[in-house]
Amino acid sequence: MAEREIDAIRKLLASKPRPVGWSERRERLDEVGSTWPVAADVRCEAVDCDGVAGEWSIVPGSELSRVLLYFHGGGYCSGSIVSHRRLVTEAGRAAGTRTLAIGYRLAPEHPYPAAHEDALAAWRFLRKQGIAAARIAVGGDSAGGNLTLALINHLRTAGEALPACAWLVSPWTDLTMSGSTLQTKDAVDPLIHKAYLDELADAYAPPGVDRRDQLISPLFADLAGLPPVLIQVGSAETLLADATRLAEAAGAADVDVTLQIWPHMIHAWPVWNANLEDGRRALDQAGQFIRAHIR
C-alpha cells in the first residue's frame, strides 16, 4: 500500500514539473503542497512576528503553552506557509501543541543571512510571549531543517536557552554537496538533483561565502550540547547522506539523536500526509518525540 501511495505522489509531481523562474517555482510548490487542504477542525491565524510573517495553528485539545516553531523547506528560494500548511498543522495535532509557521525571506532577493535573521526574530517573538524555551520544539524540512539547526547553533553560541528538541525532515545539511547519495540516489529521487541544489546554493550563499560555515552547512558544526534531535529521511532521497552523516556526527558529539530512514519515501514526504499513510505515520512518530521532550 505504501509503495502504491508514494507512486501516486510521484505521478502528481511528474504532472507538475518544476518551472525555470523563481516566482513560477514558488507558485508551483504552493500549488503542489496545498493539493490537500487543512483539516476542518484546524484554526489558523496570521501573525506579525516583529516584522516576520507567521501563522498560528491549533486543533482542539492542543496546549496553547506548548509550541512547535516550524521552518518550511524549498531550498531557501521557495516554499511558504501555504505550501506546508497541511504538514505543519497535522504535526501540531500529533504533538499536542499549537504551531507557529514562519514565512522567512527567500533568496535570491534575500540571500544569507536574511533567513537566519528572520528565524531568530521568530524565536525572540515567541520568547517575548512568555513561552519558556523548554516548551518550544523547533522543526523544519529540507532547507528548513538546515535553518532549524542554524538557529539552535546561534542560540548555543550566545549561551541562550535552547528549545526542548529539534525535528528534522529530509534536512539539507551540506551546501558543499559532498554527500555520496547525490550520485547513488539520483536515478530514484524525483525532486532533488545536484544541478538544482547548486543553483539554490548559488542563490542563497553566493560565491565568496564559505559554505562550510556552521551556520550555512550545519553538518560541519560542533554539535555538542544540542537538544534531542529526531531526523526523518526517505531511502529514495539524494539528500540521504546529509541526514545519515548528521546523525553520525551528532551521536559522536553525545547528542541524543534518533535517525529514521523510511523505505521508498521521497524528499519531504510528510507534506502529502493527507493521502500518504507513511506521511501520517511519520508525523505521528514526530509528535510522540516532541511530546516526550517538551515540558
Active-site residue, 237 included: yes
Q: Which amino acid belongs to residue 248?
A: E
Instruction: Point out which residues pair with 261 in neighbouring strands.
Output: 233
Active-site residue, 80 included: no
Residue linked to cell 538557529: 151
In contact, 230 and 165? CB cutoff 8 Å: yes
Catalytic residue among 57, 78, 142, 217: 142
Active-site residue, 55 included: no
Catalytic residue among 57, 84, 90, 237: 237
Compute, in degrees rounded to 10, the torsion defined by CA atoms 195, 200, 205, 206: 70
Cα(146)–Cα(263) distance, integer angstroms:
22
Q: Pinpoint the alpha helices (H) of the chain.
A: 2-15, 22-33, 85-95, 114-128, 143-157, 181-184, 194-204, 240-252, 277-293
In contact, 101 and 95? CB cutoff 8 Å: no
Residues that are catalytic: 142, 237, 267
